[in-house]
Amino acid sequence: MPDDQNWPGGARWPQTHAEQTDLLPRVDFAGPVDAPTERIAIPAELTQAQPDEPKRRSLRKPAIIAGSAVAALAVLYGIDLALSGGNVPRGVTVAGVEVGGMSQDEAERTLRERIEPRLTAPVAVKMGGVEEKLDPAKAGLTLDWRATLDQAGDQPLNPFTRLTSLFGGTREVGVVTAGNDTALAAEVDRLKAAGAKAPAEGGIRFDGVTPVAVEPVPGQELDAPKARQVILDGWVRGTPLDLPVATTPVKTTSEGVHAALDQFAKVAVSGPVTVKGDGKDARIEPPVIAGALAFEPADGGGLTPKLDLAKITEAVRPQLASTEKPGKDAQIVFEGGAPTVTPSVDGTGVKWDTAFVPLLDVLRKADGREIKVEYTKAPAKVTTEQANQLGIKEVIGEFSTKGFATDSGVNIRMVAEKVNGAIVKPGETFSLNGFTGPRTAAQGYVEAGVIKDGAPGREVGGGISQFATTLYNASYFAGLKDAGHKEHSYYISRYPAAREATVFQNHDGSSVIDLKFTDDAQTGVAIQTIWTSSSITVKIWGTKHYNVESIPGTRTAETPPQEKPGPTTGKCSPSNGAPGFTTSDTRVLRDAASGAEVRRDTRTVKYNPQPKIVCAPTPPPPAG
């Protein structure tokens, strides 16, 4: 009997004998009307009406109904328990597929039919604003069918749980993924790299001279551990996965960007800035301002303007060039066979390094946009005093070459006149291409013979390699440090083997192959050139530190020339070619005062064979 003496549903359990008797079936003993009647004595307490009897009678029917319901549910529970034993609990779904109430084998078959096609299909993933695909095979993902169904558990014994499951409701159980942790980690790393977005700070760009706000955009980075779990839990569902990302903040704000746009950028390009020079003015036009103006993130979410002063200077310098007086370097001239110093002259020029420091403040104003530049003395790069202290007093290296064509001679004379008197101070490196600048027709150079890509050809400025070889050998015997040179591709007999140089420029004058040497002594040097119609001589003047000896190596690995057909159009000049070979040269430096060896350097060079040019026979004239 329940402790509270109540029936299920709240009906009270019968307490008195009368209440209990009322629950028994009623029997009618009345016979025929005229039959003798036998009276049965009934105790008075049973026939006498009780005060609460109507209340008891009102509770009998609900109690009977409740009891019948309990009995029916008990029977139903027993039947359900007997019929569903061993099945997947009702209401269970796996990856959206209903398998509740099925046997384990039937549930596995159903899952395989419905889910297996998804297992090899790419899975769409979304990482913030980035969409990607995940390949289950590459991620090493497979499904453990039995373990997945085992997660549903056994049939519940709780009668109320079982009975309520008859009337609907579902319970999703997760899948159990069996896979390769290394492969999954690699795929998550790939997604992390694909989904990463660096934060983009806000700024201002210029569309012509119109400033445009660039809104800040936070960055993002995949939360790898959480993303891994999301993949494991949901990859078989066949629906896109939303992978968690962490946001990377930016320093700027939209409000700060627009404040800089309205309060500075628009005003900055609202008109030109006047630059007042000595007797002449220049103007910084809005397009120049826009091209030189940039913005950096500032504290508080705003922007700090920055100016590229080099671009401003580049635009203004030509406009004020006539107000500057260039200086003149001291020079070494060779008179009477000896070097003498011509004095330097100081110039005056704009103090460009500080000229535009106040420009940012000027750009903040809509009116009064003006800057006045200052001038200062511009000393010569090589002063008279410096030139006199260089120790240029004697020839320390000299070399001559002969035998050049007339057109090559024109170019050799041009470059020789340019280099004559050049000074190389202690620690400086001389560059032939850098010193002469472009050697094109505009500078007076002519077309002459060159060796290009290992074959003879013609270029404007050809023949300069003979001057380069002469200069290289003069620096070689002066004991100067080689800072870079390149030999010809095949040997030219008028030059010493492994002790020659070539130079080359593009058509626009840019350097391709250069000749460089460094003055690594404590004294300076000057270069003297002497040109004749048949020879070129270069002398290096300075203070003698070394006696230099050249030791040529033997020729090895000779390679015979290969035949090459000559041109089929124009003039063809046959040649026998020349073999290629490998050789070396060793430079020995000895102290000029003591004669002790300081060092020796060996350079090995491989020359290609010169091709043997074979011309096609000239066809006979047609018969007339």
Can you give the pLDDT at residue 27? Answer: 42
Can you give the pLDDT at residue 179? Answer: 72
pLDDT tens digit string along 277-302?
999 999 999 999 999 999 999 999 99
End residue of a domain, out of 366, 386, 406? 386
- Whether residues 442 and 330 fall in one domain: no
Residue 190 falls inside a structural domain: no
Angle, vertex CA 347, rays to CA 414 and CA 379, nearest 5: 90
Domain encompassing residue 503: 390-614
**Minimum mean pLDDT range among 62-76, 525-539, 600-614:** 62-76
Instruction: Give the total number of structural domains in the chain.
Output: 2
In this prediction, residue 453 has a pLDDT band, given cuts at 50, 70 and 90, of low
Residue 40 falls inside a structural domain: no
Report how far residue 401's alpha carbon sits from residue 465's, in angstroms, rounded to the nearest whole number: 11
Dihedral Cα 66, 67, 72, 74, nearest 10 deg: 110
pLDDT tens digit string along 117-146?
778 889 999 999 899 999 998 999 988 878
Instruction: Answer for the pair 478, 524: CB distance below 8 angstroms, yes or no.
Output: no
Among residues of the chain, what percentage have pLDDT more than 90?
58
Give the pair of three-digit tokens for residue 606.
């491989």
In this prediction, residue 369 has a pLDDT band, given cuts at 50, 70 and 90, of very high
- Whether residues 466 and 573 fall in one domain: yes
Can you give the pLDDT at residue 42? Answer: 45
Can you give the pLDDT at residue 153? Answer: 58
- Whether residues 280 and 411 fall in one domain: no
The contacts of residue 561 (CB under 8 Å, 6+ apart) are 576, 577, 578, 579, 580, 609, 610, 611, 612
Average pLDDT for the chain:
84
- Whether residues 592 and 481 fall in one domain: yes
Give the mean pLDDT of 242-253.
94
Classify residue 261 by its DSSP letter: I
In this prediction, residue 573 has a pLDDT band, given cuts at 50, 70 and 90, of confident
- Whether residues 382 and 417 fall in one domain: no
Residue 176 falls inside a structural domain: no
CATH number at residue 309: 3.10.20
- Whether residues 349 and 491 fall in one domain: no
Report how far residue 374's alpha carbon sits from residue 277's, in angstroms, rounded to the nearest whole number: 8
- Whether residues 380 and 394 fall in one domain: no
Residue 143 falls inside a structural domain: no
Give the pair of three-digit tokens for residue 399.
């070399």
- The dihedral through the CA atoms of 130, 185, 177, 168 has a sign that is negative
Identify the CA nearest to 296 among candidates 172, 214, 202.
202
Query: Which one of 129-138, 163-172, 375-384, 517-526 scores highest in mean pLDDT?
Result: 517-526
Residue 36 falls inside a structural domain: no
Give the pair of three-digit tokens for residue 623.
């018969």
Residue 91 falls inside a structural domain: no
Identify the CA nearest to 465 among candidates 398, 401, 527.
401
pLDDT tens digit string along 204-220?
999 999 999 999 999 99
Can you give the pLDDT at residue 60? Answer: 64
Report how far residue 299's alpha carbon sits from residue 464's, in angstroms, rounded to the nearest whole number: 59
**Residue 33 predicted with pLDDT over 60:** no
Can you give the pLDDT at residue 47? Answer: 46
Residue 395 falls inside a structural domain: yes
Other CB atoms closer than 10 Å to residue 209's CB: what's the count? 15
Give the mean pLDDT of 234-238.
83
The contacts of residue 397 (CB under 8 Å, 6+ apart) are 473, 474, 475, 476, 477, 478, 479, 480, 539, 540, 548
Comparison of pLDDT for 554 and 234, the residue scoring more: 554
pLDDT tens digit string along 314-367?
999 999 999 999 889 888 888 877 899 999 999 999 999 999 999 999 999 999
End residue of a domain, out of 326, 355, 386? 386
The contacts of residue 361 (CB under 8 Å, 6+ apart) are none
Report how far residue 123's alpha carbon sits from residue 95's, in angstroms, rounded to the nearest whole number: 14
- Whether residues 525 and 377 fall in one domain: no
End residue of a domain, out of 338, 353, 386? 386
In this prediction, residue 230 has a pLDDT band, given cuts at 50, 70 and 90, of very high
Dihedral Cα 32, 35, 36, 42, nearest 10 deg: 0
Comparison of pLDDT for 104 and 542, the residue scoring more: 542
- Whether residues 515 and 557 fall in one domain: yes
pLDDT tens digit string along 93-114?
877 788 877 887 888 888 888 8
Can you give the pLDDT at residue 65? Answer: 72
- Whether residues 435 and 325 fall in one domain: no
Among residues of the chain, what percentage have pLDDT more than 70?
82
Residue 128 falls inside a structural domain: no
Identify the CA nearest to 94 among candidates 203, 233, 218.
233
- Whether residues 408 and 318 fall in one domain: no
Can you give the pLDDT at residue 178? Answer: 73
Can you give the pLDDT at residue 566? Answer: 78
- Whether residues 561 and 497 fall in one domain: yes
Can you give the pLDDT at residue 168? Answer: 53
Angle, vertex CA 42, rays to CA 41 and CA 44, nearest 5: 120
Identify the CA nearest to 551 among candidates 472, 497, 494.
497
